[in-house]
C-alpha cells in the first residue's frame, strides 16, 4: 500500500502546519506533532510519511536493534566481519527461532509470539511478499479504502506437477496477476533487496532518519496514552527504567502502531475499550484511568483474526541424497497456490497453500515436505484481544479464534479435498510410486474426515500462526482517518485496522 486518495493519507501528505523543530536535545521534554508507538512494519512507514510532511515526529520502540543497519549483531560465526546480522540474510530466517534472541517480545508485552525490535515482525518473518487481490479491499473495507484508492508497488516441480498438471490450476507470475487468486499457482516471491532482507527498516526508516524533524527512540516502552476524554496530550513510557511523560504539541497526534495485539492492549490500558475490561483494570488499580475519564469503545480488540492453518506432511519417492533431485532440491517455501470456495449466499472463502522443503513434527526424513493450507479471506470466525488474568493485563487472543463458525473448516476441508483428488491413490503405508503422498492425512478422506482432522488440535492443526490482524477494524474501531472512534487525535495504523 503506497498511496491513496483517502483522507488519512492526505493528512500524512499535508504541508508543514507549524514550525518543525529539529528532534535533537533532551527529547523527553520536547513536544511532538506526532508520537508513533512501535517502530514495526507499519509504524516506520507512518513515521516516515509524517516527517516527510514536515511534522515533528517521534517514533518510540520498546525493543532495540535488528538488521545490521540498525546496529543488530545477532549472527552465526561465519558472518563475523561481514557487517551482516542474521536478520539481513534471508536463508537464516529460521535460525532466528532456533536461537535465543533479544528481538522476541517478552511475555509481559503480548500473549503471543512476535518481534519487539526495530522493524517489528518484518525483521523476523519469512519475507513472503504477495500483493492482495483488489477484492480484499473492495469486499471488506469501507469507502476511501477500496482498491481504486490505491496504486501498488510494484519441492516446485513436484508441487507444480500436482497442482497445475493434476488439479488444473493456472501457472502464473503471482504478483503479475495479483488480482487472480482463484485456482492459480506460482513461485513464491519475497521482500528481499539485493540478496538481503527488505522491509520498512531498509526503506522508509532510512529516509526518515535523514530528516532533522525525525527521531527514533529505542528502548522506550509506552505504558499508556495521556488523554482527557479521548483528546491526547502525549504518552507515558518507561525509558531506562524511569517513567517519562512525552508531550504532543498543540494539534499533535498519538499513533499506535504496536501491532494487532499490543495496539488494542494499549488503548485498553489507556481507558479506551470495552466496559467490562475497563472495570476489571480499575478494580485492580492497574491504570490511572477511572470511570470519570474512560472512553467506552466495545470495538477495541473486537474481530482479532489469525489464519487457520494445517500442516500437511507429504512424501515423494525421490531420494535427495542419491540423486540431488526431488523435494529437497529447492529452498524452503518455493511455491504457493490459491483458490476460492463458493458459499450459497454468494460470498466466498479464500484458501492458500504454501509448500516448503522441510518436514514438520514427526515427519522429518529426507523425502518429506510440508504443505501449509491457510484460510486467507472471507473466513467467518474471529475473536478478540483480551487481557490476561494474572494481574499484568497482557494483551492476547481470546478462545475460539479458529473454526468457531464451521463454514471456515468446511471451506478449507473442501479445498484440501479438491487438491487431494489430483494426487495418485496412495496411503502412508503404500506411498505412490510417483508423485506425492500425504502422511498425516489420507489421500482418500472425505470432506467430513478432513474437516474433523483440521479442527482437532494436534502438532499439525489449530495452532497459532501469529499473523494477527483486524482487532481494531476500519469502520468499527477506527474511522477512515484511522482515528479511534470516540477520540479526537488518537490513531491506530498497523495490522489491527485491516480486515483479513
Ligand X SMILES: Cc1cc2nc3c(=O)[nH]c(=O)nc-3n(C[C@H](O)[C@H](O)[C@H](O)COP(=O)(O)OP(=O)(O)OC[C@H]3O[C@@H](n4cnc5c(N)ncnc54)[C@H](O)[C@@H]3O)c2cc1C
User: Under the rule (CB under 6 A), what is the footprint of ligand X?
Assistant: 37-43, 60-63, 109, 113-117, 120-122, 124-128, 221-222, 257-260, 262, 266, 466-467, 494-495
Alpha-carbon torsion 310, 315, 321, 323, what sign? Answer: negative
| Cβ within 8 Å of residue 244, ≥6 positions away | 28, 220, 236, 237, 238
3-state secondary structure of 233: strand
Ranges of beta strands (E only) in 147-241 are: 150-151, 170-171, 184-187, 192-193, 196-197, 214-217, 220-228, 231-239
Contacts of 121 by beta carbon, 8 Å cutoff, 6+ apart: 40, 41, 114, 115, 259, 466
CB 301 within 8 A of CB 263: no
Name 248's bridge partners.
32
- Indicate the residue among 23 and 266 with the shorter CB distance to ligand X: 266
Per the structure block, which three cell numbers stand in for 228? Answer: 482527557
Q: In the 3-class helix/strand/coil scheme, how is 294-359 assigned residue by residue? A: CEECCCCCEEEECCCEEEEEEECCCCHHHHCCCCCCCCCCCEEEEEEEECCCCCEEEEEEEEECCC
Helix %, strand %, coil % of the chain (to 5): 25, 25, 50
In this complex, which beta carbon is closest to ligand X, that of residue 219 or of residue 298?
219
Question: Nearer Cβ to ligand X, position 105 or 172?
Answer: 105
> By C-beta, is 330 or 420 nearer to ligand X?
330
Residue 433's contacts (CB-CB under 8 Å, 6 or more residues apart) are 317, 424
Q: Which residue is nearest to ligand X (CB)?
A: 40
Shortest distance (Å) from residue 316 CB to ligand X:
24
Closest approach, Cβ 500 to ligand X, in A, equals: 11
Cβ at position 112, least distance to ligand X in Å: 8
Comparing CB distances to ligand X, the nearer of 48 and 494 is: 494
Query: Which residues face 187 on adjacent strands?
Result: 335
Whether 191 contacts 127, CB under 8 Å: yes
Where are any strands of DSSP class E within 364-434? Answer: 368-377, 383-387, 395-397
What CA–CA distance (Å, rounded) separates 495 from 470?
6
- Closest distance to ligand X from the beta carbon of 117 (Å): 6
Gap between the Cα atoms of 300 and 477, Å rounded: 6
DSSP 14: P
Q: Which is nearer to ligand X, 196 or 325 (CB)?
A: 196
Least Å from the CB of residue 318 to ligand X: 27
Closest to ligand X by CB, 222 vs 341, is 222
Q: How far is the CB of 199 from ligand X (least distance, A)?
A: 8
* Nearest-approach distance from CB 42 to ligand X, in angstroms: 3
Q: How far is residue 402's CA from residue 421's CA, in Å, rounded to a whole number?
A: 26
Q: How far is the CB of 494 from ligand X (least distance, A)?
A: 3
> Which one, 41 or 426, has the nearer CB to ligand X?
41
- Smaller CB separation from ligand X, 170 or 221: 221
Contacts of 141 (CB under 8 A, 6+ apart): 474, 475, 498, 499
Q: How far is the CB of 19 from ligand X (least distance, A)?
A: 27
Shortest Å distance, C-beta 106 to ligand X: 10
Nearer to ligand X, 126 or 480 (CB): 126
Cα(496)–Cα(41) distance, integer angstroms: 12
Q: Which three cell numbers stand for residue 20?
A: 518543525
Cα separation, 351 vs 191, whole angstroms: 22
CB of 254 to ligand X, least distance (A): 12
Question: Of the two residues 333 and 426, which places its CB atom closer to ligand X in the complex?
Answer: 333
Query: Nearer Cβ to ligand X, position 119 or 144?
Result: 119
For residue 498, the minimal CB distance to ligand X (Å) is 9
Amino acid at each position: 500500500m503506497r498511496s491513496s486518495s483517502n483522507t488519512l493519507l492526505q493528512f500524512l501528505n499535508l504541508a508543514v502546519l507549524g514550525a518543525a523543530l529539529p528532534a535533537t536535545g533532551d527529547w523527553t521534554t520536547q513536544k511532538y506533532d506526532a508520537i508513533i508507538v512501535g517502530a514495526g512494519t507499519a509504524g516506520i512507514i507512518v513515521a516516515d510519511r509524517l516527517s516527510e510532511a514536515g511534522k515533528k515526529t517521534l517514533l518510540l520502540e520498546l525493543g532495540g536493534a535488528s538488521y545490521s543497519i540498525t546496529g543488530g549483531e545477532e549472527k552465526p560465526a561465519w558472518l563475523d566481519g561481514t557487517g551482516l546480522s542474521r536478520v539481513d540474510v534471508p536463508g537464516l530466517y529460521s535460525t532466528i527461532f532456533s536461537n535465543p534472541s533479544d528481538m522476541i517480545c517478552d511475555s509481559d508485552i503480548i500473549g503471543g509470539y512476535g518481534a519487539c525490535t526495530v522493524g517489528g515482525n518484518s525483521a523476523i518473518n519469512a519475507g513472503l511478499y504477495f500483493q492482495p487481490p483488489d477484492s480484499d479491499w473492495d469486499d471488506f473495507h469501507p469507502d476511501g479504502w477500496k482498491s481504486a484508492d490505491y496504486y501498488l508497488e510494484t519441492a516446485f516441480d513436484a508441487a507444480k506437477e500436482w497442482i497445475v498438471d493434476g488439479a488444473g490450476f493456472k501457472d502464473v507470475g503471482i504478483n503479475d496477476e495479483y488480482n487472480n487468486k482463484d485456482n492459480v499457482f506460482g513461485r513464491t516471491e519475497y521482500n528481499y533487496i539485493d540478496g538481503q532482507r527488505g522491509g520498512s527498516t531498509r526503506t522508509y526508516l532510512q529516509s526518515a532518519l535523514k530528516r532533522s524533524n525525525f527521531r527514533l527512540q529505542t528502548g522506550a516502552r509506552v505504558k499508556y496514552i495521556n488523554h482527557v476524554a479521548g483528546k491526547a496530550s502525549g504518552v507515558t513510557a518507561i525509558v531506562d527504567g524511569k517513567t517519562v511523560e512525552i508531550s504532543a504539541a498543540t494539534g499533535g497526534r498519538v499513533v499506535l502502531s504496536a501491532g494487532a495485539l499490543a495496539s488494542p492492549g494499549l488503548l485498553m490500558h489507556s481507558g479506551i475499550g470495552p466496559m467490562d475490561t475497563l472495570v476489571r483494570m480499575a478494580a485492580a488499580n492497574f491504570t490511572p484511568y477511572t470511570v470519570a475519564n474512560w472512553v467506552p469503545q466495545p470495538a477495541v480488540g473486537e474481530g482479532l483474526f489469525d489464519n487457520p492453518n494445517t500442516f500437511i506432511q507429504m512424501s515423494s519417492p525421490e531420494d535427495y541424497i542419491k540423486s540431488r533431485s526431488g523435494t529437497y532440491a529447492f529452498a524452503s517455501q518455493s511455491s504457493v497456490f490459491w483458490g476460492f470456495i463458493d458459499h450459497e449466499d454468494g460470498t466466498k472463502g479464500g484458501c492458500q497453500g504454501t509448500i516448503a522443503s522441510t518436514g514438520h513434527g514427526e515427519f522429518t526424513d529426507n523425502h518429506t515436505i510440508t504443505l501449509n493450507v491457510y484460510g486467507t479471506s472471507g473466513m467467518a470466525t474471529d475473536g478478540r484481544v483480551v487481557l490476561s488474568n494474572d494481574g499484568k493485563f497482557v494483551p492476547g487472543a481470546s478462545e475460539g479464534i479458529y473454526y468457531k463458525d464451521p463454514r471456515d473448516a468446511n471451506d478449507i476441508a473442501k479445498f484440501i479435498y479438491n487438491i487431494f483428488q489430483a494426487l495418485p491413490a496412495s496411503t502412508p503405508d503404500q506411498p505412490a510410486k510417483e508423485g506425492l503422498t500425504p502422511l498425516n492425512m489420507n489421500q482418500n478422506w472425505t470432506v467430513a474426515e478432513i474437516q474433523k482432522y483440521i479442527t482437532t488440535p494436534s502438532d499439525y492443526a489449530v495452532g497459532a500462526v501469529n499473523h494477527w490482524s483486524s482487532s481494531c477494524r476500519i469502520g468499527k474501531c477506527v474511522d477512515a482517518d484511522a482515528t479511534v472512534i470516540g477520540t479526537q487525535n488518537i490513531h491506530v495504523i498497523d495490522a489491527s485496522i485491516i480486515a483479513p
